[in-house]
């Protein structure tokens, strides 16, 4: 009876701690928004709120509560591992795997080696380490060197999307960042086992090599179990909220399962086997992403759940920071920060030279890999629990270094992308113009159309037969005077460089413009507003798309009756949806099937046009360079797809 009362008391205490932390986390999500408006990383805001709310400042999160909330940390770490595994999409990585592998190997060897050596010779400067033995100094060095390799895929992807970057440098950088976290977790698992063999066991023996191999094999095998569980969860029809909860629960179950395995094996064999749950989660997520039909649903769950998990995880991490260690050992933080940047510069330059990259890429090759966040912080928190005593102090130092890297890294990556010439935004931050339309005829409807197109990033210019003194000041657009319809006259208006010509003049003038564009300029899209029905075929013979005002309204109403949703999207009355045609220019996607094309969850392929002919498309349709892919989805998601399909 007494034990049940005690268990109930513990449960009530955990619930109270959880409620208090929930309030802090909710406040953290709101307060950190201020950091975003100041163009500072949100993660820094979460950490700072957690630090202020922690036991060393306001005490809103007490020291007694932190161990009780450990399960939240485990759920968040498992989720971060799921997110890393989902980025390992083989179809995206295979075409640039050589450069990726070379850079990862060079960074894994040189950054790990140089940072580890720096820390080993620096341990005498750290009060809580200098009195400890050689085994601890080696363990600290290896653990720090491992975490120094890690970067942040989420932060890198955010920078790429912000700058609309695309090109070989961008693709290689994000590929290295994504794959490297998987390598880091494997290396971390090995180093933890070796460190425990040195520190806890008192010495290293060849048996521990077999133990490491067994642990990695067990993690891979259990990854298949998590793959099966995730597939079962994702197969549930509808119930998106339930699936989100079950995905998070699967991560917690992974930690509980590995803990149970470790305890059972210790009782049976006396050996302490550490099967890394992060590695299991990455393996399971990787299999779901590449070898299941639930990839899109899984990505949607991760995308929608991620912000809430990150708020909780980083706020809780901030509460664990020891302020006294940070203030006393600030110089150690700066030394580690500098050593990591220097070693990353050496390793990246060496890898780029071996890969045969251009000189410019070699010089800036280190800049994308400074940022650290999720996985780095996750591994740092594991050290605190895996190595009682000195582990908590080392974790605090590592968090300080990670925060500096997280602040300095994104601006460096932006600088590198600009130097590489792969950004597609103007200096003022607005979207770079990609297409130009020339409108022949300036009237109220054409100006309204121009306003809509400009919102979508189009460059719109007008051409008028007579330059009117009243007309020019009324327009916010460039207006050309049309002196004739022959090719030389049209060239003066810029018609030869336009992607689309929209003709709103008389049929005679429109036909002359379309004939010149068809025969001399090869303009891809010619659009004509018809005045007389008998001229329809003349324009069609020139490949023009014809809009007949006499029948357009009837046709539109017919479509609204037969397909109201599709027509509403087409007319953009559905605010969250849009349709676009995107030309495939990314050579890495040539030959890829539609089912293997990685699209956001809210984007659907409507059709594929090859040459001038639409083809019957399905999941096994293979894309070819020059294909026009018509998609529907949200504006933000379509922008991501455009960057992917247009490539470099």
Helix, coil or strand: residue 197: helix
From 415-424, 481-490, 493-502, 550-559, the region with the lowest mean pLDDT: 550-559
Looking at per-residue confidence, does 255 or 433 come out higher? 255
Percent of the chain with pLDDT over 70: 86
pLDDT of 469 over the 70 cut: no
Q: Supply the pTM of this predicted model.
A: 0.70
Residues 383 and 370: beta-carbon distance below 8 Å: no
Domains of the chain: residue spans and CATH = 2-420 (1.20.1530.20), 435-554 (3.40.50.720), 575-646 (3.30.70.1450)
Residues 88 and 289: beta-carbon distance below 8 Å: yes
Residues 185 and 243: beta-carbon distance below 8 Å: no
Maximum average pLDDT range among 112-116, 126-130, 136-140, 381-385? 112-116
Looking at per-residue confidence, does 65 or 254 come out higher? 254
Given this model, what pLDDT does residue 323 score? Answer: 76
Pairing of the two strands 435-440 and 458-464: parallel
Maximum average pLDDT range among 77-86, 342-351, 414-423, 611-620? 342-351
Residues 348 and 366: beta-carbon distance below 8 Å: yes
Nearest Cα to Cα of residue 89 among 149, 151, 153 = 153
Mean pLDDT value of segment 390-396 = 82
Per-residue pLDDT tens for 292-317? 888 888 888 888 888 888 888 878 87
pLDDT band at 559 (very low <50, low <70, confident <90, very high): low
Core vs surface per residue 442-470: b (16+ CB within 10 A) or e: beeebbebbeebeeebbbbbbbbbeeeee
Per-residue pLDDT tens for 598-615? 777 677 787 788 876 777
Given this model, what pLDDT does residue 428 score? Answer: 47
pLDDT band at 487 (very low <50, low <70, confident <90, very high): confident
Looking at per-residue confidence, does 187 or 329 come out higher? 187
């Amino acid at each position: 009876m007494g034990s049940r009362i005690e268990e109930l008391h513990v449960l009530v205490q955990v619930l109270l701690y959880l409620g208090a932390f929930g309030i802090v986390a909710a406040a953290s999500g709101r307060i950190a928004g201020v950091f975003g408006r100041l163009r500072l990383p949100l993660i820094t805001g979460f950490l700072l709120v957690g630090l202020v709310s922690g036991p060393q400042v306001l005490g809103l999160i007490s020291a007694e509560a932190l161990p009780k909330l450990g399960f939240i940390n485990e759920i968040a770490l498992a989720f971060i591992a799921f997110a890393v595994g989902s980025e390992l999409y083989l179809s995206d990585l295979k075409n640039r795997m050589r450069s990726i592998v070379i850079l990862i190997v060079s960074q894994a060897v040189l950054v790990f080696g140089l940072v580890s050596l720096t820390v080993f010779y620096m341990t005498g400067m750290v009060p809580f380490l200098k009195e400890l033995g050689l085994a601890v100094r080696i363990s600290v060095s290896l653990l720090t060197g491992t975490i120094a390799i890690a970067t942040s895929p989420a932060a890198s992807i955010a920078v790429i999307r912000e700058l609309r970057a695309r090109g070989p440098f961008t693709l290689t950088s994000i590929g290295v960042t994504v794959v490297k976290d998987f390598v880091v977790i494997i290396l971390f698992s090995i180093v933890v086992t070796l460190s425990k063999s040195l520190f806890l066991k008192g010495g290293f023996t060849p048996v521990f090599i077999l133990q490491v191999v067994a642990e990695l094999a067990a993690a891979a095998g259990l990854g298949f179990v998590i793959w099966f569980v995730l597939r079962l969860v994702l197969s549930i029809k509808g119930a998106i909220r339930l699936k989100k909860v079950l995905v998070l629960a699967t991560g917690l179950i992974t930690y509980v399962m590995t803990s149970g395995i470790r305890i059972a094996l210790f009782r049976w064999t006396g050996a302490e086997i550490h099967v890394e749950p992060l590695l299991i989660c990455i393996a399971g997520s990787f299999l779901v992403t590449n070898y299941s039909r639930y990839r899109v649903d899984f990505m949607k769950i991760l995308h929608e759940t991620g912000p809430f998990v990150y708020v909780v995880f980083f706020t809780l991490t901030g509460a664990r920071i020891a302020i006294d260690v940070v203030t006393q050992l600030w110089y150690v933080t700066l030394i580690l920060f500098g050593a990591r940047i220097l070693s990353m510069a050496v390793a990246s330059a060496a890898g780029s030279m071996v890969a045969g990259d251009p000189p410019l890429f070699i010089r800036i090759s280190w800049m994308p890999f400074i940022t650290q966040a999720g996985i780095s912080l996750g591994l740092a928190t594991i050290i605190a629990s895996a190595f009682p005593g000195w582990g908590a102090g080392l974790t605090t130092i590592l968090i300080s270094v990670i925060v500096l890297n997280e602040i300095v890294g994104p601006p460096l990556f932006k600088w590198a992308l600009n130097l590489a010439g792969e950004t597609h935004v103007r200096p003022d931050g607005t979207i770079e113009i990609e297409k130009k339309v020339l409108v022949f005829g300036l009237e109220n409807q054409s100006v309204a159309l121009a306003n809509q197109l400009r919102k979508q990033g189009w460059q719109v210019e007008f051409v008028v037969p007579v330059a009117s003194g009243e007309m020019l000041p009324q327009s916010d657009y460039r207006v050309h005077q049309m002196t004739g319809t022959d090719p030389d006259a049209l060239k003066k208006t810029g018609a030869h460089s336009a992607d689309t010509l929209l003709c709103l003049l008389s049929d005679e003038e429109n036909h002359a413009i379309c004939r010149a564009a068809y025969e001399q300029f090869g303009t891809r899209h010619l659009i004509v507003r018809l005045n007389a029905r008998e001229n329809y075929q003349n324009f069609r013979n020139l490949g023009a798309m014809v809009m007949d005002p006499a029948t357009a309204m009837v046709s539109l109403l017919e479509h609204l009756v037969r397909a109201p949703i599709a027509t509403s999207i087409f007319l953009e009355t559905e605010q969250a949806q849009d349709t676009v045609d995107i030309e495939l220019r990314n050579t890495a996607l040539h030959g890829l099937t539609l089912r293997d094309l990685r699209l956001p969850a809210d984007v659907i392929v409507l059709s594929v046009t090859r040459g001038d002919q639409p083809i019957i498309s399905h999941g096994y349709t293979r894309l070819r360079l020059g294909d026009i892919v018509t998609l529907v989805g949200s504006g933000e998601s379509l922008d991501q797809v455009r960057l992917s399909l247009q490539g470099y």
